[in-house]
Structure 1
Amino acid sequence: MKLVVLACLAAVAVAAPQFPEDDPRHIAVLRDNRHDDGEGNYRYEFETENGISVNAEGRPGNVGQANVQGSYRFTLDDGTRVEVTYTADERGFVPESPIFPTSHPLPAHVPELLAIAAEQRRQGITFDEQGKRVTG
């Protein structure tokens, strides 16, 4: 099994495109800092000349997982700068960014309708599938 995994990794490395430095697709790495204490605590950060940057800091969690806090930044084709911060721990991966879509606010009448429905349930009023009042 290990040999198969090693062979796959070697195939990916050989197949990866290698761009010479004068090729416009070559992106230089401006910064690459890494630290790992061997006990599960680590930190890394890197930045490329096209504006991509990543940083993360991790430590062992109390239930066997890694607890990580980090961020990454990049620029969209339209020039919009995107930054995502995240945590990853026993609760899962939780990203945050102003670019993520958010739900629309409820129309003004919805809270009133929800209050009416709650009051009807409190009074024991029920309705059938067609919306006709059955009890209460």
Structure 2
Amino acid sequence: MVSKVLLSVLLAVAAAAPQSYRPPSNTYSAPGGSSGPVVPILVDDREGPDQFGNYNFNFETGDGISRQEQGAPQGELGAVASQGGWSFTFPDGTPGVFSFVADGAGYQPQSNLLPTPHPLPAHAIAQIEKARQEDAAGASHSSAPSRNYGLP
């Protein structure tokens, strides 16, 4: 009885196995299981980092994505300052172009696609200016905080 069950299981496994081999198509499978066309890399230039820490790279793909960056040590501590950018095209045809500088002042990206804060309303600017003037006037009179809480 056990041998009949085992034989049946083996036959089912053999029947479920693929019957032929096909070479992979011109697609890739992403970790989530989706697939798409293979995008060729048209340019892939890389240099460094050299003995001093200088480096640069540039690459471009067949679907219009490009990325470039250069970096070199700066200052006494040799922290690497870099600059570069990337570009691509959105599905609707809109170009996406970004550039950046990363140095002692931090990472500073630039693009007309980055969000910007709304401008402050005039009353807020007036309040900030009044507070600045009060701070400046208070600093010139005394360095100790006032204890009268605005009372005469």
Q: What's the counterpart of residue 71 of structure 1?
A: 85
Give the direction of change, closer, same or farther, for the CA distance of 1:37–1:101 in structure 2 (3 Å limit).
Answer: closer
2:105 corresponds to which of 87, 91, 96:
91
Flag the 1:117–1:69 CA change in 2: closer, same or farther, 3 A: closer
Partner of 2:50: 38
Shift in Å, 1:92:
2.7
Alignment coverage as a number of residue pairs: 110
Q: Which residue of structure 1 lines up, in the alignment, with residue 64 of structure 2?
A: 51
Please give the residue correspondences for 1:17-28 in structure 2 after superposition, counting only pairs within 5 Å: 22-23=26-27, 24-28=36-40
Partners of 1:77 and 1:51 in 2: CA distance: 11
Aligned counterparts of 2:66 and 2:121: Cα–Cα separation in 1? 40
Q: How far apart are 1:61 and its partner, in Å?
A: 2.3
Structure 1, unaligned runs of 5 or more? 1-19, 127-132
Give the RMSD, CA atoms, in angstroms: 2.9
Question: What amino acid does structure 1 have at the position aligned with 2:114?
Answer: F
Q: TM-score, normalised by structure 2?
A: 0.58
TM-score (normalizing by structure 1): 0.63
Gaps of 5+ in 2: 1-23, 28-35, 139-145
Aligned counterparts of 2:128 and 2:113: Cα–Cα separation in 1? 30
Q: Which of 1 and 2 has greater Rg?
A: 2
- Identity, % of aligned positions: 34
Give the ranges of 4+ consecutive aligned residues of structure 1 lying more than 4 Å apart after TM superposition: 115-123
Cα 1:44–1:118 change in 2 (3 A) is closer
Q: Give the C-alpha shift of residue 51 in structure 1.
A: 1.3
- Corresponding letter in the other structure for 1:60: P
